Amino acid sequence: MSPTEPAKRKRKRIIGTFKCPAVNCGKVFSRADHLGRHQRSHNPGSRYACPYPNCGQTFTRHDVKEKHFKRHTNGIEKSKRDEGSTENTLSPTDLIEWLFHDELSVDNSNSGTNLPGHSTDLPSGFSPVSLIETMFAVSPNFPNSNYRIAVNENIRSNLISFIPSLEANPDFGCLQIEECLSNYWLLYHPQYPILHRPSFLNSEAPPLLLLAMVMLGSNFVPCAKSADSLLRNPKALADQIAEPLRWLIFANIDCRPPAKVWVVQSLLLLETYEITSSSRFLHERAYLHHGSKIQLLRRSPILGGDPLKSENHDGAYSPPNQVWKTWIEVESMKRATLMAFYLDTIHATVYGHSIILYAHQLKLSLPCEDVLWEFDNTNKSETLSFERTPKFLAAMNKLLHRQKVVTSSFGKKVLLAGLLTIMFQMQQKDLQLSFLEWDSMKDSWNQTISLAIDVWRADICTEGGCCDTENSLWFPIESKKKLPPMLRIDDTRCKFGLYHIAQIYMRISHYDYIIYAGAPSRMNVKAGKAEYEIVAKRVMEWSHSLNGSISAIHAYWFLCEMILSPDNEDITFTYDPNTDPFMHRKNIIASAVLVLFAYNYSLHGPESVTYDQLATSDYYPDKEDGYSYLRRIRKCLSRGPGGPFHRINYGRTSAQFHEAIKLHSETLRSIDNKHHLVGLLKLFYRSYKGCNWEIGREYSKLFRNCIKRCLGRKSVVCDDMYVN
Q: What is the 3-state secondary structure (H, E, C) of 367-392?
A: CCCHHHHCCCCCCCCCCCCCCCCCEH
Q: How far apart are CA 45 and CA 63, in angstroms?
A: 17
Residue 389 · residue 368 · CB < 8 Å: yes
Q: What is the pLDDT of residues 59-116, one digit of tens each?
A: 766 667 767 766 665 543 443 333 333 364 556 666 666 665 544 443 333 433 332 2
Q: What is the pLDDT of residues 686-714, one digit of tens each?
A: 999 999 999 999 999 999 999 999 999 99
**Rounded alpha-carbon distances, angstroms, from residue 438 to 71, 76, 288, 541:** 14, 12, 33, 20
Q: Which residues pair with 49 in a beta bridge?
A: 58
For the cut 90, the answer to whether the pLDDT of residue 675 exceeds it is: yes
Average pLDDT of the chain? 83
pLDDT of 702 reads 98
Residue 516 · residue 364 · CB < 8 Å: no
**Rounded alpha-carbon distances, angstroms, from residue 133 to 78, 351, 389, 462, 664:** 44, 43, 14, 30, 50
Q: How far apart are CA 143 and CA 149, in angstroms?
A: 11
Residue 432 · residue 481 · CB < 8 Å: no
Q: How far apart are CA 459 and CA 406, in angstroms?
A: 9
For the cut 90, the answer to whether the pLDDT of residue 271 exceeds it is: yes
Q: How far apart are CA 314 and CA 379, in angstroms?
A: 27
- Pairwise pLDDT comparison (641 vs 87), residue with the higher score: 641
Residue 6's pLDDT band, with cuts at 50, 70 and 90, is very low
Of 315, 302, 311, residue with least CA distance to 131: 315
- Cα-trace Rg, the chain: 30
Report whether the peptide linkage leading into residue 44 is cis, meaning its omega lies within 30 degrees of zero. no
pLDDT of 326 reads 80
With 0-12 CB in 10 A as exposed, 13-18 as middle and 19+ as buried, what is 204? Answer: exposed
pLDDT of 84 reads 38
pLDDT of 221 reads 95
Residue 261 · residue 333 · CB < 8 Å: yes
User: What are phi and psi for residue 564, nearest 5 degrees?
Assistant: -120, 145
Q: How far apart are CA 653 and CA 394, in angstroms?
A: 22
pLDDT of 273 reads 97
DSSP three-state, residue 29: strand
How distant is the alpha carbon of residue 600 from its chain centre? Answer: 25
Output b/e per residue, 118-147; b: 16+ Cβ within 10 A.
eeeeeeeeeebeebbebbeeeeeebbebee
Q: How far apart are CA 668 and CA 543, in angstroms?
A: 12
The DSSP letter of residue 303 is T
Residue 174 · residue 230 · CB < 8 Å: no
pLDDT of 142 reads 84
Of 585, 561, 499, residue with least CA distance to 272: 585
Q: Hey, how many other C-beta atoms are within 10 angstroms of the C-beta on 243?
A: 17
pLDDT of 13 reads 53
**What's the CA dihedral at 345, 405, 423, 450 to 10 degrees?**
-120
Q: Hey, how many other C-beta atoms are within 10 angstroms of the C-beta on 712?
A: 16
Average pLDDT over residues 646-655: 74
Considering only 194-208, 475-489, 641-655, 662-676, which range has the smallest mean pLDDT? 641-655
Average pLDDT over residues 211-232: 91
pLDDT of 405 reads 87
Residue 575 · residue 688 · CB < 8 Å: no
User: What are phi and psi for residue 149, nearest 5 degrees?
Assistant: -115, -45
E strands in 110-251: none
Amino acid identity, residue 428? Answer: Q
Which residues, other chains included, contact 454 with Cβ-Cβ below 8 Å and sequence gap of 6+? Answer: 654, 657, 658, 661
58-59/48-49 β-pairing: antiparallel
Residue 121's pLDDT band, with cuts at 50, 70 and 90, is very low
The pTM assigned to this predicted structure is: 0.82
The DSSP letter of residue 142 is P
Of 632, 642, 647, 644, residue with least CA distance to 664: 642
Amino acid identity, residue 8? Answer: K
Of 394, 384, 443, 452, residue with least CA distance to 422: 452
Q: What is the pLDDT of residues 240-267, one digit of tens each?
A: 999 999 999 999 999 998 889 999 999 9
Q: What is the pLDDT of residues 297-336, one digit of tens each?
A: 988 877 776 554 444 444 445 565 677 888 888 889 999 9
pLDDT of 119 reads 30
- Pairwise pLDDT comparison (37 vs 162), residue with the higher score: 162
**Rounded alpha-carbon distances, angstroms, from residue 12 to 8, 9, 15, 19:** 10, 9, 9, 20
Q: How far apart are CA 69 and CA 63, in angstroms?
A: 10
- Altogether, the residues listed in the chain come to a count of 724
Q: How far apart are CA 11 and CA 66, in angstroms?
A: 28
Q: What is the pLDDT of residues 282-298, one digit of tens each?
A: 999 999 999 999 999 98
Q: How far apart are CA 245 and CA 182, in angstroms?
A: 21
For the cut 70, the answer to whether the pLDDT of residue 610 exceeds it is: yes
- The CA angle 343-718-503, to the nearest 5 degrees, is 35
For the cut 60, the answer to whether the pLDDT of residue 120 exceeds it is: no
